[in-house]
Amino acid sequence: MSLLLQLPRELRDLIYAYVVAVDVPPESLTMEKIDRIPHYEVWNHKKFAEFLPSIYRTNKQLEQEVAPLFLRNTRLCISSMSQCILMTKWLLTVGRGFESTLCLQIHLSQRYQDFPDLATTYEIVWAFILRCSNLTDLVLVVDCYRCTPADKRAQLAFLRLENLIGVKSLRRLVLRVPVCGKLIMQVSFWLRDVFWQERGDVHVRLQTISGIDLKDFGSQSEEDV
């Protein structure tokens, strides 16, 4: 390993890219390629080192050199309060950890049972998203409709989707919503009349929870819900 560290940093970065298996460089990412990004479900691992490349665990220098590359080429999936807190703590130990996080999949879920107050939970989750200052790609899964208020306007306020406008570096947004009740229509209207008016630079795709396309904002084709 000492021989590796004696190599020029540029050459080490090429080796790291091979180890991390960079298939879709961030600069070539499109909406159609998002699903090709290797994704790691944080909730399946008790320790972050368990899903990081083994080279990451060799020593502290390699840890700091490999982690940002891993983050830039990974879609991290978070679906619980405890996972969000764990990830926050880990990113604080990585040099430019939040800045290196480019792609996230976040579940605004009724499964947040590790923290009883959903409103407070969402505040913390949104704070985490907004802290990723270079975030370009976000898959937001809303499967908490049973927990949201009955009033249609209150539903949107409860989910705090307006925070998406503040993700300044965002370029692609996939929003997955359950196809039942009025929520999906309200989200569709909000995307069209509010979000896309403010953030026309973002390619937005509205999907069902299972990933079926419903509407596309920002491309030549646009299907009605």
- Tell me which of 22 and 187 has the higher pLDDT: 187
pLDDT at 50: 62
Long-range Cβ contact pairs of 21-26 (< 8 A, separation 24 or more): 22/69, 22/73, 24/73, 25/73, 26/72, 26/73, 26/102, 26/136
In sequence order, what are the residues at sequence separation of 6 or more whose Cβ sits closer than 8 angstroms to the Cβ of residue 120? none
Provide the whole-model pTM: 0.78
Quick count: other Cβ atoms within 10 Å of Cβ 65? 18
- Tell me which of 182 and 100 has the higher pLDDT: 100
Helices (H), 59-191: 60-72, 81-93, 97-100, 118-131, 152-159, 183-190
Give residue for tokens 């491309």. Answer: 219
Average pLDDT value over all residues in the chain: 77
- Tell me which of 118 and 39 has the higher pLDDT: 118
pLDDT at 39: 57
pLDDT reading at 139 higher than 70:
yes
Confidence of residue 224 (pLDDT cuts 50, 70, 90): very low
Cα–Cα distance measured from residue 156 to residue 133, given in angstroms and rounded to the nearest whole number? 24
Give residue for tokens 């080490």. Answer: 12
Quick count: other Cβ atoms within 10 Å of Cβ 163? 15
pLDDT at 90: 84
pLDDT reading at 76 higher than 70:
yes
pLDDT at 130: 95
The DSSP line for 77-115 is EE-SHHHHHHHHHHHHHSTTHHHH--EEEEEEETT-TTS
Q: State both tokens at 2.
A: 């000492």
Confidence of residue 26 (pLDDT cuts 50, 70, 90): low
